Chains A and B, each alone.
Chain A
């Protein structure tokens, strides 16, 4: 099956700093989503982005499907951005409905 690799595994920032999280995948995808898991365990969808670029406030994401990677940018980080960020992908072979998750990036934002 498709492999998903996220980097870095851990990231510690000071409040106000910017960061870039990366997601590499091993095969063609027709579905790619980014999620944030807060310290209480809740999983929130951030972006549906199988290709192109999207922005939502301080967060933006870019997926270059032909080169098999996606980037999540966090600008002016806040302590509430702490948590685990997951990338998940779906491939055409499974109609894109079955998402395979990476192991996540643990982000800690210190005040």
Chain B
């Protein structure tokens, strides 16, 4: 299917467990992003990637690890989950940087993670 897909859509885990959220896009977009959404905070950027093998921290990167070995995939790993990481996680992609062209952000459907 064309577009941007996230998996799993729902995940319940326990404190201390490792969790990986997957993100796959079919457009060959250069940029990919991970945001988390919490009540009272809107969406906050965790990590982003400008291209394969290029990643950078966002606003709230602590406790998360990303990789991007292929343009189409951008997994997010919580190495040792904590209750404060209970959230809805959104993956997004865009085609170009904001310097020129339309950097329109397209979101996946989200992954709801609960850490007990």
Contact = CB atoms under 8 A, between A and B. Distances in A.
Contacts of B102: 48
B110 A88 contact: no
B42 A97 contact: no
Contacts of A90: 98, 103
Contacts, number: 68
A25 B103 CA distance: 18
B45 A86 contact: no
B103 A103 contact: no
Interface stretch (A38-46, A60-68, A74-82): A38-46
Nearest to B104: A48
Interface string B35-50: 1000011111100101
A98 interface: yes
Nearest to A29: B98
B106 interface: yes
Interface of A: 1, 30-31, 33, 35, 41-45, 48, 50, 86, 88, 90, 92, 94-104
28 contacts: A30-B98, A33-B104, A41-B109, A41-B110, A44-B107, A45-B104, A45-B107, A48-B103, A50-B98, A86-B43, A88-B105, A90-B103, A92-B98, A94-B98, A96-B98, A97-B31, A97-B48, A97-B50, A98-B33, A98-B48, A99-B33, A99-B105, A100-B45, A100-B59, A101-B35, A102-B42, A103-B40, A103-B42
